Amino acid sequence: MRKTLLSLIVLQTLIATVFAEENKPASTEVEDLAPPSNTPVSYFWSKEVSSAEKSVISTKKSTINASNINGYLMTPHTNPVNVMSHVNTTPIFWGASWYNPRYYSDKIFGLMHFYQNFYGSTYASAINEYLPAELSHQSSSPIIDTSIASANPSNVLAKICSVVNSTINSKSDYYPVYTDIKRGTANYCAYHSAGICNGVPVQFAFFFDLNDDFGCDPSSPYAPAIRTMKSQTSGAVAGIPSMHQQSQGLAALANVTAHELFEAVTDPGYFPSNGSPPYWGGWFDSFYDEVADKCSWTFGPSNTGLSPGTVLIGGYYWKLQGVWSNEAQTTGTGGYPTQNGNLVGCVTGS
Amino acid sequence: MRKITNRGFLAITLLLSMSAICQEMVLMPPELSAHAVTRDVTEYKSREQALIAFIGDKENQQMPLLADDFEVWSDKSRDWQSKDDWLKTARQQANFNIRNLSVRQMDDFAIVNFLLESTDRLDKERSTQFVVDIWRQSTNKLSVRYISDVEPSVQLNPTDRKF
């Protein structure tokens, strides 16, 4: 308990330092990343799709036509649709490693910076078509808990309840829980879920430790290469002079953070007032894919004209996956292809 | 039988109260979870969907995603099925959906397992199969498929979207 409190005090001081850095002009490292002004904004295939596969897939682009597109579009599953137009995010960093500066590197600072500046970015506006009003988002101070973490959703919910029990009071609360647990052979990088804590529905997300995890790495050009000596070195986002914007682990977490935040907003768990079991009542397609699932591991043209997936949030560059837009798919404009190339509804808010 | 002392009674009451408080803290376990899958899962799900699209295209006799010596093993037969025999059977099905896909990569091979839902062409009878595919990574071609029917009792809960 004493360790947790001490960590919180140290953290608050450091965060204040980081946010003070925000007011400074962009560092020279940021400017060095800018391309020549004549760089065209266009769609690039991400490296995850090999050229052999691309040639195979491109021959099948016509398999989905106007008559069978409906199953691929997002549809609401409650009336009025259950979404979160306002979100108050309280990140929780759970696990014994979070007291270790060599482990947390720039992750806590970087993720707080990401959440603080997410609202108002063009990237966040990509999901406005699913919301009754423009998304408003705010973030609260993080909580660090250095007890042993668990990936089990029941244990994650219990931890959230135990550390924020007295302050849970709103359907708008969202608790992303970042752990130091390695993914191992799990086939996912993160998940979002929902439960009830003291009678109040709680939306939350869980994240594995993605340091040097190839299966969950977006290969960001703004972070050191994976599995190198420098991969977890703090980047400029933490206020540390660096040739990179963020560490590899932070870059990977940011990408799945965006994925889970978009899905928690557009498809939060719905808890009927009559006490029936909860269900997903927001936006997803007939294959149960949510808005971020359909564009997982695809990186579209950036809103800054830089390399694929580049998004500018809070003055720093991040490589983030796209999100599905019914509008882009049905109008045929503004979107880029999904990974199988059949659909063109992925957008990055540009 | 030993008599419970006042102190013992107090301790038991306190323990029961503590237990009740702990239980109240989390009233309901999370029954919902939706996963952000790995790059491998996304890539191979996309590849399996491309294969399904080829199977559905009866006019296309070329199957570039299948190895020349591709074969299918199932619980229905002692022998393997050839590519052509299997295609005839597979093309009688429609409305495919892939769920719960996982990937393990081992050297040049990727072992992909998933649940494959489909209906017959008349959309009357629905079936679910557990499929294990062995892909050769250097050629991006499917070498072997293993299939077994799944009992209706293990149909997925639609709230559990681990794919």
- pLDDT, tens digit only, all 350 positions of chain A: 445 544 544 444 444 333 333 333 322 222 222 222 222 222 222 222 233 333 333 333 334 554 567 788 999 999 999 999 999 999 999 999 999 999 999 999 999 999 999 988 999 999 999 999 999 989 999 999 999 999 999 999 999 999 886 676 678 899 999 999 999 999 999 999 998 888 888 899 999 999 999 999 999 999 999 999 999 999 999 999 999 999 999 999 999 999 999 999 999 999 898 888 889 999 999 888 999 999 999 999 866 678 999 999 999 999 999 999 999 999 999 999 998 787 999 999 76
Per-residue pLDDT tens digits for B41-80 = 999 999 998 899 888 887 776 788 999 999 999 988 889 9
Looking at residue B53, its pLDDT comes to 87
Chain B CB within 8 Å of residue A223 CB: no
Whether B59 is covered by a domain: the verdict is: yes
Domain contains A281:
yes
Q: Answer for the pair A15, A93: CB distance below 8 angstroms, yes or no.
A: no
CB contact under 8 Å between A194 and B26, yes or no, is no
Number of domains in chain B: 1
Q: Is A6 among the domain residues?
A: yes
Is the pLDDT confidence value at B123 over 60? yes
Q: Is residue B97 part of a domain?
A: yes
Per-residue pLDDT, A68: 63
Specify if B99 maps to a domain.
yes
Burial class (CB in 10 A: 0-12, 13-18, 19+), A206: buried
Residue range(s) defining the domain that contains residue A18 = 2-31+75-296
Q: Which residue of B has its CA nearest to A267?
A: B34
Q: Which residue of B has its CA nearest to A206?
A: B35
Query: What ipTM was assigned to the predicted interfaces of this complex?
Result: 0.77
Q: Domain with B110 in it: what CATH number?
A: 3.10.450.50
Please tell me if residue A17 touches chain B, with a CB cutoff of 8 Å: no
Please give the radius of gyration of chain A, using alpha carbons only, rounded to the nearest integer: 20
- Is residue A325 a part of any domain in this protein? no
- For B128-153, write each residue's pLDDT tens digit: 999 999 999 999 999 999 999 987 54
Whose tokens are 């993605």? That residue is A210
Contact check, Cβ <8 Å, A278/B32: yes
Residue B15 has pLDDT above 80, yes or no: no
| A63 vs B contacts (CB less than 8 Å) | 53, 56-57
Which token pair is A118? 């997410």
CB-based contact B32 A280, cutoff 8 Å: yes
The total number of structural domains that make up chain A: 1
Q: Determine contact: A153 vs chain B, CB below 8 A.
A: yes
More confident residue, B12 or A177: A177
Residues 91-110 of B with CB under 8 A from A: 97, 101-104
Asked whether residue B92 is assigned to any structural domain, the reply reads: yes
Token output for A216: 């969950």
Looking at the domain assignment, is residue B28 inside a domain?
no
Q: Which domain holds residue B108?
A: 35-161
Q: Which residues contact A48 (CB under 8 A, 6 or more apart)?
A: A297, A298, A339, B39, B42, B43
> Does the distance separating the beta carbons of B36 and A292 come in below 8 Å?
yes
Which chain A residues touch B25 with a CB distance below 8 Å? 158, 161-162, 165, 197-198
The verdict on residue B41 lying in a domain is: yes
* Distances B162 to A132, A135, A311 between C-alpha atoms, Å: 29, 27, 28
The pLDDT value given to residue A10: 45
Which residue from B minimizes the CA distance to A184? Answer: B104
Cβ pair B29:A260 closer than 8 A: no
Q: Tell me the residues of chain A between 288 and 347 that have a Cβ less than 8 Å away from chain B.
A: 288, 290, 292-293, 296-297, 338-340, 342
- Answer yes or no: do A188 and B102 touch at CB < 8 A: no
pLDDT (0 to 100) of residue B150 = 87
Return d(Cα B19, Cα B14) in angstroms, integer: 9
- Any domain includes B96: yes
In a domain, A337, yes or no: no
Contact residues, chain B, for A47 at CB < 8 Å:
none
> How is A163-175 classified by DSSP, letter by letter?
HHGGG---TTEEE
| B24 in contact with chain A, both atoms CB, cutoff 8 A | yes
Q: Does some domain include residue B136? A: yes
CA gap A34, B149 in Å, rounded? 54
- Name the residue among B31, B43, B103 with its Cβ closest to that of A278: B31
What SS3 state is found at A191? Answer: strand
Q: How far is B18 from chain A (nearest CA, A)?
A: 14
CB atoms within 10 A of CB A229: 8
Cβ of B42 within 8 Å of Cβ of A198? The answer is: no
Nearest CA among A183, A199, A161, A175 for reference residue A268: A175
